[in-house]
Amino acid sequence: MIYRRLTIKGFPISDDGAIFLPIGDKGGHPFLIGDDLGCSSGPNVLSVVSGVIDSVEKKCWQLCRRPPEFQLFLNDLPGNDFNSVFRSLQSLHERRVASAGLGKELGQCFVAGVPGSFYGRLFQSKSVHFFHSSSSLHWLSQVYSLFSGLLWII
């Protein structure tokens, strides 16, 4: 319940942030790479992923651009049950198709689990376009001063 409230509160920021992502087929990347840090598992995990995808695709449609392909990483500690998350990917795809409507092109979506602590390095330099963290607030206090202009804290 708390996770769902946090993600819903963050959706307007995802919509606003989609404007700044390098997307589409006219000068932007043909793909978009993102990570949900501390994603956990359960019924609401993919709500963040689908919210970001929806925001980017809507922005592409408004600009008459082809939506990018999405590579989305779900990060949590190794004890997380990523299998339950992966089992729900088919329903995510079905919801995307149903909500897009006829004639709307969808970007392909590739999802991978990344077990490990985000206190250490998870990805190579300059390999991810955006990170999302809605309930792992304890780490923000450590990096806020470094990225104060780049982080939105709700």
pLDDT per position as a tens digit, 14-60:
555 555 565 655 656 688 888 888 787 776 778 877 888 888 888 88
Query: Is residue 6 a part of any domain in this protein?
Result: yes
Query: Is residue 153 a part of any domain in this protein?
Result: no
Query: Is residue 34 a part of any domain in this protein?
Result: yes
What's the CATH code of the domain at 119? 3.40.50.150
Q: In the chain, how many domains are there?
A: 1
Could you give the CA distance from residue 87 to residue 60 in angstroms, rounded to a whole number? 28
Query: Is residue 152 a part of any domain in this protein?
Result: no
- Who's near 48: CB < 8 A, 6+ residues apart? 7, 10, 36, 39, 132, 134
Query: Is residue 27 a part of any domain in this protein?
Result: yes
For the segment 65-115, what is each residue's pLDDT rounded down to a tens digit? 888 899 999 988 888 888 888 888 888 888 888 887 777 888 889 999 999
Domain boundaries, position 47: 2-143
Query: Is residue 154 a part of any domain in this protein?
Result: no
User: Model-level pTM greater than 0.75?
Assistant: no
